[in-house]
Amino acid sequence: MSLADIVEHLICPVCGDGLGLGDRVLRCPRGHAFDVARQGYVSLLTGSQAPGTADSAAMVAARDSFLGAGHFAPLVEAVAAACRTGTGAAADVRVVVDAGAGTGHYLAGALDRLPGAAGIALDVSKNAIRRAARAHPRLGAVVADVWRPLPVRDGAADVILNVFAPRNGPEFARVLGPGGSLVVVTPTPRHLRPLVERLGLLSVDEDKERRVAASLDGRFAEAERNVHEFEMALDRAAVEAVVGMGPSAWHTDPENMRQEIAKLPETNYVTASFRMSIFRRNP
């Protein structure tokens, strides 16, 4: 069970004690217990407060289809390469935490290139985490809200990934170990052109870069920044998937969007454009 690879790095969300893995249950010394789902993941959400916005089953299915087809393969490679930046060698990375991991696609790609490393996938969507639990044999999948305290030990992570996900500066600083890296990926305003104009999709805020820095609450300094851009040739089914997996899915009627996509050419040349920043924790 992949949770066995990460349980030593987890903490009880109720009391903060360590957790141990029993027969399909995680339990802390004080007796707080969390059942392991048959799909292999565990939910460490607590309380009655509603979690942040979670991806729906349809959004997760669209993401799984699109990413599984390899359309973002250059980004997967770039994320994996960033995990090694500043650590000296892949062997120096023992634990990668993906905060807002979705289906675990980027974390699995990183683990493929980091022999011996374990991955902790955190996401508030059970629909996504079910898929993440199957994404890699060294990946442990946990339902958790990035906006809340993370169920991860202090300094456990050598690398934190944050790909198109919310950022919790104080918690990232607590969880990241000395010399570790925080890898943040966000879309640029050029992302998904010309589909944004043709289909009326949500565009990326020009102020996004400033808001990323502000969300880290002064606890991190940017050590490196790159823009990764490449062209994709997407058929109509792939266009429907990329629209359905992103934030525009919350603001569009699926049937109306399907009709608009049907008017597109069979092959559409679309720009993928991402900003990747590598941060180090301030002393």
What domains can you pick out in the chain, each with its CATH number?
Answer: 46-281 (3.40.50.150)
Assigned token pair, 156:
């456990």
Task: Say how far apart CA 11 and CA 253 lie, in whole Å.
Answer: 41
Assigned token pair, 130:
């079910």
Task: Say how far apart CA 54 and CA 41 lie, in whole Å.
Answer: 16
Beta strands per DSSP E along the chain: 20-21, 25-27, 33-35, 42-43, 95-99, 118-123, 139-143, 157-163, 176-187, 220-234, 268-281
In sequence order, which residues have a C-beta less than 8 Å from that of residue 95 and are 6 or more positions away?
6, 9, 117, 118, 119, 120, 156, 157, 158, 159
Rg of the chain on CA atoms, in Å: 19
User: In this predicted structure, what is the pLDDT of residue 51?
Assistant: 58
pLDDT in tens, the chain (283 residues): 589 999 999 999 999 999 999 989 999 999 999 999 999 999 999 876 555 567 889 999 999 999 999 999 999 999 999 998 655 455 589 999 999 999 999 999 999 999 989 999 999 999 999 999 999 999 999 999 999 999 999 999 999 999 999 999 999 999 999 999 999 999 999 999 999 999 998 887 766 677 777 888 789 999 999 999 999 999 999 999 999 998 887 778 889 999 999 999 999 999 999 999 999 999 8
User: In this predicted structure, what is the pLDDT of residue 50?
Assistant: 55
Task: Say how far apart CA 221 and CA 277 lie, in whole Å.
Answer: 10
Assigned token pair, 8:
């030593």
Sign of CA dihedral 119, 14, 166, 127: positive
Task: Say how far apart CA 229 and CA 190 lie, in whole Å.
Answer: 9
Token pair 């996900």 in the structure block, residue: 165
User: In this predicted structure, what is the pLDDT of residue 161?
Assistant: 98
User: In this predicted structure, what is the pLDDT of residue 39?
Assistant: 94
